[in-house]
Amino acid sequence: MIGTSKEEGSASDAKSSSYTPPPNVIVLPQTKELVALMTIIRDKETGRSDFVFYSDRIIRLLVEEGLNHVAFVEKTVITPTGVEYKGLGFQGGICGVSIMRAGESMEQGLRECCKGVRIGKILIQRDEETAMPTLFYSKLPEDIASRQVLLLDPMLATGGSAHKAIEVLIERGVPEDHIVFVNLVACPEGIKYLLDGYPKLRIVTACVDTCLNEKKYILPGLGDFGDRYFGTA
């Protein structure tokens, strides 16, 4: 049985929704394969081994899509036949930044797509007295301001942690439109909160769930992603 988390709640709490994400929220095509993968990781009976395996498959799809939304420049190369090919190249380096701890589960998927990619980390926790997200730790590449950043965190619930993480990146000189936030499950409330503060941000997600309940759990959700992925439930 998965413990209570901010991504969990009873199905009876869910509200019906006809929510349409704004243009800078990119939702993966809801193919039968993706829905099947999401069904596996949402199932409370799914064991850790299968949860990790199928989550990793979804993360790889998300990272591939996230890379479609960084900046590119035109690039011409010569093929082995001696002919020019006019293609594209990444504009500047790519950097992944994971919001600890759950975001660390997405690092390997990025490494598999981007050889030698730099990885930064940000640790944010909620202050018990103020209920506000507080920065506890950050370790970012020195040249992060010149890179395209994929911000990694599996769940977008209230958006408090992601909002703080984006604030940290911008303070380090990363332009807002150079940040792509990649996550597995989002909700309308979290999307609105992030885009109200950072309208140039792009969000790539596998699905947008119905809502948050009064306890701020995503519904239908999938439980505490970090606990299930790292086996600490």
Instruction: List residues with catalytic annotation.
Output: 126, 130, 224, 227
CA separation for the pair 211, 226 (Å, rounded): 20
**Rg over CA atoms, the chain:** 18
CA separation for the pair 153, 181 (Å, rounded): 8
CA separation for the pair 205, 7 (Å, rounded): 15
Tell me if residue 16 falls in helix, strand or coil: coil
Helix or strand holding residue 124 (H, E): strand 118-126
DSSP 48-91: HHHHHHHHHHHHHHHHHHHHTTS-EEEEEEE-TTS-EEEEEEES
